[in-house]
Homo-oligomer: A and B are copies of this chain.
Amino acid sequence: MQLCWIHPTPRTTELEALWQALATSMSAIVAPGNRLDFRFLENSGGFTRSLYAEHLNSVLMVEAAIQAQDEDYDGVLLGCWNDPLWEAREMLDIPVASVGEQSLLAALTMGHRFAVVTVAEKTAFAIERDIQAYGLSERAIRQPVRTIRPFSDTNLLKESLTHPESRFLPRFENVARQCIADGAEIILVGCAYYGPLLRRAGHYQITGTAVPIVDASAIAVKYLEAMTGVAQTTSLVKSYANAFAGVPSTAIEGGRDALSLR
Contact = CB atoms under 8 A, between A and B. Distances in A.
Interface stretch (A15-23, A100-108, A162-170): A100-108
Number of chain copies forming the complex: 6
Contacts of A245: 121-122, 210
A204 interface: yes
Interface centre among A48, A106, A122, A255 (most CB of B within 10 A): A255
Contact of A105 (B57, B60, B108, B180): B108
Contact of A258 (B43, B215, B254): B43
A46 to B, nearest CB: 5
Contact of A180 (B86, B91, B241): B241
Interface residues of A, number: 105
Interface in A91-135: 91, 95, 97, 101-102, 105-106, 108-112, 121-122, 124-126, 128-129, 132-135
A225 B236 contact: no
- Tell me whether chain A's interface is mostly helix, strand or loop, or mixed: helix
A201 interface: no
Nearest to A209: B241
A177 interface: no
Interface in A235-262: 235-245, 247, 251-261
Interface of A: 28-29, 31-33, 41, 43-46, 48-53, 55-60, 62, 84, 86-91, 95, 97, 101-102, 105-106, 108-112, 121-122, 124-126, 128-129, 132-139, 142-143, 180, 182-183, 185-186, 199, 204, 209-212, 214-215, 218-219, 222-223, 225-227, 229-230, 233-245, 247, 251-261
Given A124-B242, A185-B244, A219-B230, 14 more contacts: A28-B233, A41-B258, A44-B255, A52-B87, A52-B247, A55-B62, A59-B59, A105-B109, A106-B227, A125-B242, A210-B241, A210-B245, A212-B239, A260-B260
